[in-house]
Structure 1
Amino acid sequence: MEKIPDRGPALIVYYHGAIPIDYYYFLANVIIQKGRTCHSVADHFLFKIPGFKLLLEVFSVIHGPQEECVRALRNGHLLGISPGGVREALFSDETYLLFWGKRNGFAQVAIDSQVPIIPMFTQNLREGFRSLGTLRLFHWLYERFRLPVAPVYGGFPVKFRTFLGDPIPYDPNISAAELAERVQHAVQSLIDKHQQIPGSILRALLERFYTKHKD
């Protein structure tokens, strides 16, 4: 948590699990340890769930227009975003593939706001909850209708460990595409360093009782 500034803005970029429960714990830790709130970017479909919009507003969740993200950062807030979003949540698996494509809007937000980017990854996240989104039917439904209906199972009491990488400082001489690639490499480096692939639910459960670091 020492990599999160005590004051001033920063953009936190994280790997999206089937259920981003690690990010919820991260938000709680920021409040408890730093005395700060962290704004978050969520997919549009969450705002269409009846009665959910007010809850999202209470927790400072926005649906992600670049202008609104820049405004939050320029106002001195922390902001969390997952470039992989719903696609990464549904279609990634125990191999922890990143589904960022050519998304670089988050990088442009960081450039326009002149803020650092802090990469984040949680070990064993896919072993806590898994998605059936890799099945052809659910993949087709999402790509055709943007319906995130793939079943999620789990809730296994595995050992989570969240790692924050070194902040990537603002650089006026770098393009959004180059910065997005640099951030993706930073998140991938955290995965390579801290996650045994493929992930194993049994191994992640056993790590509740002993620590086995990746070779």
Structure 2
Amino acid sequence: MTNPIVDRANRVATLQKAIFTVADLLGPAVDLSRFYVDGLENLPRDGRFLLVGNHTTAGWAEVVLIPYFVHRELGVRVRGLATRQLADMRGIGRDVLEAAGAVVGDPDVGAELMRQNETVLVFPGGGRDMLKFKGEEYQLLWEGRSGFARLAIAHDYPIVPVGLVGGDDVYHMLVERGGTWERMTRGIGQRLHGVNGVGIPLVRGVGPTMVPRPQRMYLRFGSPIDTTRPAKTPVADWQNTVKERTQTALQGILDDLRTRRESDPYRNLNPLAWGRALRPLAAG
């Protein structure tokens, strides 16, 4: 039986080299784009940590920007625990995702990555965290999921909460969870997006269209959370404590970034405000 982490087709290895070569060349363009990024000094230098982030309705921003800036800072490839649908994918799409670092989000795969001291990224909310309804912007829809905490504790991995703001602002959510439309579309929603018990969000972007609204992205890496279990603390209690600490820290990051975003004249990517864009505080 092949190991999905170690045994890779030659074409995937070739794609990996190409992806990271291009990523390294894109530095000047990324700097001109003025993504707001802070907290990189919080990343453990050995690359041995678990990133825990929030999904947004944009979807792409956190999936691309978190691994990019970690690689740029530390030179490591982030291994993202992806939806199990990755296992059913075929062709170039799967090859690109695997080359970029994605693996199926299975506990055994995550454990193997940690045994190999890899940098790991997980979004505990999964697809449900992307399916936001009116009033749910930047809420963490984890529904009690704590598998990431159990995994980090078992392998003595520090957790780095990482929050992204901007991705839930590219669309206006038009309907509420539990409303008539959401309840009526739960059946077809499950077939389309694969999340049980969730209907289809209705959103709009620029004007009445589905074109995403231009938004600046704000990314923050929080302080590492120690997962070493204190003596005499029951395993289940400590797992819940680590989960709650992570969720609280991440929600705090999101709330603070939203506050900072409100005072940023460049938040809607107005080119006339590029020179006055809010800048991160210097690491101190």
Report TM bin, short chain: 0.7 to 0.9
User: Is contact 2:86–2:103 with CA below 8 Å preserved after alignment?
Assistant: no
TM-score by length of 2: 0.64
1:68-83 aligned at under 5 Å gives the runs 68-83=109-124
Deviation readout 1:119-158 (Å, 9 max, x if unpaired): 0111222113567795515544345786367687444331
1:183–1:117 CA distance, 2 compared to 1 (3 A): same
Mapped pair 1:14 → 2:14: no
**Larger-Rg structure:** 2
Question: Which ranges in structure 2 are unaligned for 5 or more consecutive residues?
Answer: 1-39, 204-209, 231-236, 280-284
Q: Which of 151, 154, 170 is 1:112 aligned to?
A: 154
Give, as a single letter, the amino acid of the residue that structure 1 aligns with 2:95. Answer: L
Question: Offset of 1:63 from its aligned partner?
Answer: 1.4
Number of the residue aligned with 1:180? 243
AA of the residue aligned to 2:267: A
8 Å CA contact 1:10–1:117 kept in 2: the answer is: yes
Which amino acid letter does the alignment assign opposite residue 185 of structure 1?
T
Once residues 164 and 89 of structure 1 are traced to their aligned partners in structure 2, the CA distance between those partners, rounded to angstroms, is 20
Q: AA paired with 2:78?
A: C
What RMSD over aligned residues (CA atoms) do the two structures have, in Å? 3.1
Residue in structure 2 matching 1:124, options 157, 162, 166 = 166
Q: Could you say what secondary structure the match of 1:159 adopts?
A: coil
User: What's the % identity of the aligned pairs?
Assistant: 22
Q: What is the correspondence of 1:91-102 to structure 2 with a 5 Å cutoff? A: 91=132, 95-102=137-144
Map of 1:162 onto structure 2:
219
Question: Structure 1: any 5+ residue segments left out of the alignment?
Answer: none
**How does the TM-score come out when normalised to structure 1?**
0.82
Residue 88 (structure 1) shift: 0.6
SS at match of 1:21: helix
Return closer, same or farther for 1:62/1:132 CA change in 2, 3 Å cut-off.
farther
CA distance in 2, matches of 1:32, 1:70: 25
Give the corresponding residue for 1:43: 83
